[in-house]
Structure formats: structure tokens, C-alpha cells
Amino acid sequence: MLRAGRLDDVVALFAFFFNQSNIVPNVVSYNILINAHCNAGRVDVALDVYRHILDNAPFSPSYVTYRHLTKGLVDADRIQEAVDLLRDMLNRGHGADSIVYNTLMAGFIDRGNMEKALELFDELRERCLVYDGVVHSTLMEAYFKRGMDKEAMESYQSLIDRQFKMTPVTCNTLIETLLKHDKLAEANKMFENMLENHTPPSFTAINTDTYNLMVNQCFKEGKIWEAIEVFHRQPKKPCIMDVSCFNNIIGKFCENRLLSEAEKLFGEMPEKSVNPDATTYRFLVDACFREGRTDDALEYFKKTIESSGGSPGFRVDVGFYNMMFEGLVKAGRTNQALEIFGKMWQRGLKPNKTSYEVLVTALCKEGNLDGGRELLEQMLRSQINASPEFTAFVFDTFGNAGRGQEIEGLFAGNSGNVASQTEQVAVMN
């Protein structure tokens, strides 16, 4: 619900479980509730929940509690209250949390108060021997924006000199900042260090997001073959690649009209025990259509449908089907598009406006007005709105064929699903 932005539903569900069902919430539950209120801009309500924990709960707030509240207050432009909350966190015996500090530092930097941000940074370093290096990325970004590249790289070097064992998330943030400001040598050096330090299970130094960053940079620089080399670079103890990592580079090759290279990587997936998903196939299908390889596009689509039947998390959406309809129609294979359209219903997936408009338009242009009318009627009966442009096209096509009254009657019987008469006239004129 949080990921979908259904914040009020989160609050309602919390109330149902803990008020009506008499379930005792834990700190994680409270944190979810606080996060929902902060994201919805209800910071005062979130603070009330925080005070309720302090007054009534048999446990203390966690670091996560303070992270959510600090961010909420900074986002609400109540940064001094956020600083007061930091002091409250420390006074209650919590250690210095670098994410809380980082949020405050970023807040002061955004408000032009670099001095206060540096003051907080110095305080963090005094309180912690080891802290999240993301705070250095925040400082580096601030220096870079001010044209102070020397200070930015000094801040970066001060972190490297401490020889922390940094998590992939921290390193990736630093690499992203370095690449953004054309510090390519330093970014490559960090990538090499991550490869060298990767010794799972004792320490995980690199992840698939790292590979995505470095591969994307290669494509940005036009170094396409180096991207393949980077993708295949492995530490002594291999980093397990996932489908998103393959999708990233396959998608890049497809965008650059290098379908054969994308297909080679697709062929490697079974060797790495990685199963393609709908995104993988979508890249390949789209590229095949653009290359005029319609039969191959159909074959990949067939594999997509077969794979989706065996995996609960693998779902082919209506957008994928619409891409097939558009590709097949453009290739002059409307009948095959209609076959897929029919099977779409069998799989419990309902067409949308684009589905109908692409197919009806194709049938009409091919002179199959009866087939077009049948699909149009199905569309209107399904309570799907017709766009003004499509409506104008249909009226014009059937009118020229002497069947205008037939279509007028069809639209009249489904007046809620067609663009207004004013819109139609405007488009036709």
C-alpha cells in the first residue's frame, strides 16, 4: 500500500487491526503508520503517534522512527524542529544515526546553509568511528553545485582514507555522484575495489545495481563493447546476477539497435540460472518489430505467454498486448493480431482503449468495415471511452462508405462512451 501511494488505506488498516481487533502494535507497525502520515504531509499527526509511543508503548522508538520523522519535518520546511528531534534522539540514549544526520545536512544545504551542514557532519564524525558514507555523497554534491570540485574530492578522499568496509548501497551512491560529475577514473577505481573486496558470505561488497551503473556509463560514453566486458566482470566469488541486471543491458542493446547482442545475453540467462520476465521479452519483441523480424517477435511473444503460465509473479499486461497489435498491424498482419486479441480474453485480460482503436482502425483501413464495426460495438458496450481523433476517423470512414447512419446509431446507443459532439466537430474540422 505504501509503495502504491495508498497512504490513507494504510492508516485505515492500522486502525482496524489495532483498535477493533485488539492487536498490540510493535515498533515496526508504528513506524509504518508514522511513514504513511509523513508521506501524506500530516507531520503533526505523525508526531502525535511518536508521543503516543513515548507515553504508552512498552518499547522505545527505533532509528527508523527518527528517520521518518526527520524527513517529514524537513520536507515540511520545519528544519529546526527536525534538529530538536535529533537532540531528543541523542538524549534518549540512541547513538548518532548517519541517515538522520544526512537528512538534516541535505536540508540545510538545500536552504543554502552549508556552514550548518558541515557543523552537523563534524558532529557525526566525532560521535561515530564508522558511519554511512552516503553523507559524503551529500557533501560532494553540494560542493560540485557550487563549482568547488577540489573540496568535493577532498571530502571523498577523507572517506576513502578511513578505509571503511562500505556496503554496496553506499558505494553505489558514491559512484553515481562521481559519474554524474565526470570523475570517471575515481568511479572505475571504486568499482575495481568493490570487485576485490567482494568475499561473501563474510562480506558483500558489490551488487547488481553496481553493474547497472557501470554498464549505463559505458553506453553513455558510446563504449558499447566495454559495457559487455563490464557486465561479465566478476569478483573471485561471483556476484549473483538477477533478471533486472540482464534486463538493463538487454534493453540498452535493443535501444541501440543491436538486437543480435541482446539475444546473445538473453541466451546466457539459463546458464546463470536467471529466468527472463515480461520486461525481458518486451524488449526483444519491440526490437524484433523495429528490425522487421515479425516472425521472431511472434516467437518471443509465444515464449512470453508460455513462461507467464508457470510463474505466479510473471504477468503479461495489456500494454504488452497492445505492442503486439501495433507491430502486427504495421507489418500488415492484422489477422494474427486479431487471433492474439481473441486469446487475450481467454486469459482473463481485458483490452483497453488502445487495443480497440488500433484494431478497429486497421480493419477499417483494410476495408473490413463489418469487422471494424463488430469490434467497435464491443468496445462501446464495454464502457470504454473513444478518443476524439478515433471517433472522427470512424465517422469519416463509415460516412464515406454510405454507412454513416449505422455508426451514428451505434454511438447514440452508447452516448456515455464517446467524445462530446463539440470535440468531434473540432477534430473533424
On the question of pLDDT at 3 being above 60, the answer is no
Q: Exposure pattern of 53-79 as b/e (b: 16+ CB <10 Å)?
A: beeeeeeebbebbbbbbbbbbbbbebb
> What is the overall mean pLDDT for the chain?
90
On the question of pLDDT at 7 being above 90, the answer is no
Q: How far is CA 248 from CA 215, 253, 282, 314, in A?
A: 8, 9, 12, 18
In 323-417, where do the E strands start and end?
none
Q: How far is CA 28 from CA 14, 32, 60, 320, 364, in A?
A: 12, 6, 11, 38, 58
Give the pLDDT score at 23: 62
Question: Residues 115-121: what's their mean pLDDT?
Answer: 96
Give the pLDDT score at 63: 94
Query: Which residues pair with residue 199 across a beta bridge?
Result: 203
Give the pLDDT score at 420: 41
Indicate the SS3 state at residue 301: helix
On the question of pLDDT at 241 being above 90, the answer is yes
Contacts of residue 313, Cβ cutoff 8 Å, sequence gap at least 6: 277
Tell me the pLDDT tens digit for each residue of 325-338. 999 999 999 999 99
Give the pLDDT score at 311: 62
Residues in the chain: 429
* Centroid of chain to Cα 75: 22
Tell me the pLDDT tens digit for each residue of 201-238. 999 999 999 999 999 999 999 999 999 999 999 999 99
On the question of pLDDT at 248 being above 90, the answer is yes
On the question of pLDDT at 76 being above 80, the answer is yes
Tell me the pLDDT tens digit for each residue of 170-206. 999 999 999 999 999 999 999 999 999 999 999 999 9
Q: How far apart are CA 318 and CA 323, in angstroms?
A: 9
Q: How far apart are CA 74 and CA 229, in angstroms?
A: 43
Confidence of residue 103 (pLDDT cuts 50, 70, 90): very high
Q: How far apart are CA 74 and CA 255, in angstroms?
A: 39
Give the pLDDT score at 304: 93
Question: Residues 355-371: what's their mean pLDDT?
Answer: 97
Concatenating the DSSP letter of every residue in 61-124 gives --HHHHHHHHHHHHHTT-HHHHHHHHHHHHHTTPPPPHHHHHHHHHHHHHTT-HHHHHHHHHHH
State residue 235 phi and psi, 5-degree precision: -70, 175
Q: How far apart are CA 157 and CA 189, in angstroms?
A: 12
On the question of pLDDT at 25 being above 50, the answer is yes
Return the DSSP state at 199: B
Q: How far apart are CA 2 and CA 10, in angstroms?
A: 7
Indicate the SS3 state at residue 350: coil
Whether the CB-CB separation of 393 and 364 falls below 8 Å is answered with yes
Give the pLDDT score at 307: 86
Q: How far apart are CA 26 and CA 47, in angstroms?
A: 17
Tell me the pLDDT tens digit for each residue of 134-143. 999 999 999 9
Give the pLDDT score at 312: 58
Global pTM value: 0.82
On the question of pLDDT at 65 being above 60, the answer is yes
Confidence of residue 427 (pLDDT cuts 50, 70, 90): very low
Cell output for 341: 486479441
Give the pLDDT score at 324: 97
